[in-house]
Chains A and B, each alone.
Chain A
Amino acid sequence: MTLPDLECLSLSKTFGGFTAVEDVSFAVPPSSFFSILGPSGCGKTTIMRMIAGFLDPTSGDIRIKGRSILQTPPNKRPVNMVFQHLALFPMMNVADNIGYGLRRKGVPRPEIDRRVGEVLERISLPDAGRRRVDELSGGQKQRIAIARCIVLEPDVLLLDEPLGALDLKLREHMKIELKALQAAFGTTFVYITHDQSEALVMSDQIAVMNHGKFEQVASAAELYYRPATSFVAGFVGDNNRWRGTLTRAEGDELQLTTDAGLVMTGAQHGRGLRPGDKAEIFVRPEAIRIARAAADIKGFDNRLSGKVTSTLFNGAASRVLLRPDGSHDEIQVALPQSGEFADLGRGDDVHVGWNAAQANVFPANDEAG
């Protein structure tokens, strides 16, 4: 088995009485794209700064290719960081920015020029070397900031929400470009973000973080379909969420009566819930089938009929809100864009259904996701 490029072992950091990072362990295999996803203030930046060397962990160890780097100062670590606001050196031109690290390593001048030229070629900005940093567009700055690190051939490249300052269109474009750059250079990327779509699109592995702890480390698809905790279920993707009491448990299948009186079935995926437990059930709007006739949904475990309360048009992500008969809960359902529901309006009768396996049930947690 090859050694992981980056390994954190029981990493903790406290500031005074506040625990920012608590007993976090993870390993990042070579040449992979690893993301840490969490709301602001969850401790993800603290982890990143500890890896970069700007903070010392209170306890635990950080290893790069099997060797502890805790005693290594930041300027000697085989780790480089792309900062949130990029932190390009405004007093230098593009080539000097990229060559900075090589100059510090004492690489001879012709060698620096050659390697800077090569990396500029690879980020498709071959003629940008003599330009000033403030003449570049947001996307170009982004690529320069990455090139400035990659030219040093670090074992691990840390990226601290580098897309946060870009506008939506450019951000979508840069997601694809970052992933392509990572594949092209084969460098291990550790990426932190609060934007789930950035993490889902780019990463091989994602760690979801909340209150200083990792809630789940898994692939994007696994996080989406099999969230391990109610926090993950609530944070990753959209979800319908109901609280209620379990009334029946048979194998993996659970029956739950919501506080508003709806009865529905869901899957517990080995979480050991028992009848009588308070629980929460999560169903994705896109896992719910919508139909005009009751007969169309008779194959589903859960079936409800109700009236449309409003339609939320958002292009491909359009939703419809409906209220089941005899309840005041609201259900969000994704609207298929095949055209058959284009004329759906407020007050129309519709039928919805979903399978128990698509509904995740978790022990009730007072903490809001």
Chain B
Amino acid sequence: MRELKKIHPAVLGVYFVCVLGILMFLNNPVIILTSLFSGALLIFLLKRFELKSLVFSLVLLLLICISNPIVSHKGITPLFYFNSKPITFESLIYGLFFALMLIAVIVWCKALNSVIGSDSFIYLFSKVLPKTALILKLSLRFIPLFKEQYHKTKNSVKVLGLYNGNKKIKSEIRVINSVIAFMVENSIETARSMNARGYNNKNHSRYQIKKFELSDFCFLALTVVLSVFTVVFKKEFYFYPKFSTINFSACYITFFALSIIPALIILRGELKWKFLISKI
């Protein structure tokens, strides 16, 4: 995990954009399954695996698998008829893979979130889009504050006896009203504090915490090369009206290699550590 954090956040950003881009635009079941496997492995190695999110993904899967055939009746093989409309095998499988793609995107975003810490994310932007970076910085600061104030307000509303079991929505709205008013007042004071620390000055420097190193260039080059190969050798896959055949293609190998890189880096780090410990 530490090995990954040493890499420059911009390089990691490019990596995740490539993987997510290929995953979303090359609608190919092999690619989807590969990314799901590597993403899950990465999450497991980053120790961010939660049972709750697994359950959520399964529920999402079920929902999409059921709703897609009801909406889309394309496809050659009807399984049965509902209200004179065919429920086809192709649309069921399409729904399945669409849901799997969504789950893969969520898994990779989770990995992204845990590898690129939030302040690194901000530093990505701060030289290029300083104002956007500031907005992101402030939003990240305000989210936990909002949560905390929400709990405090909910407790005080409960104790005033205003949190009725019957009028739950009304009570929730009241709580959120109060929290929003608090946040507005808070932000005015924050603005004052920022002004007091010279925010309105014309020239600002940008605090960079990471510099580009050779390993960053290698990682970036590897990412770009593998992504380009995957796109060049891409294989179109069709679900409707009939499944296209899955033939072997080089793009599957290059994508697998691309998606497994972070997991390999973490494993290498762990093995290195264990090796060093065993020598002591």
Q: Report if A and B associate in a common complex.
A: no
A residues in contact (CB < 8 Å) with B: none
B residues in contact (CB < 8 Å) with A: none
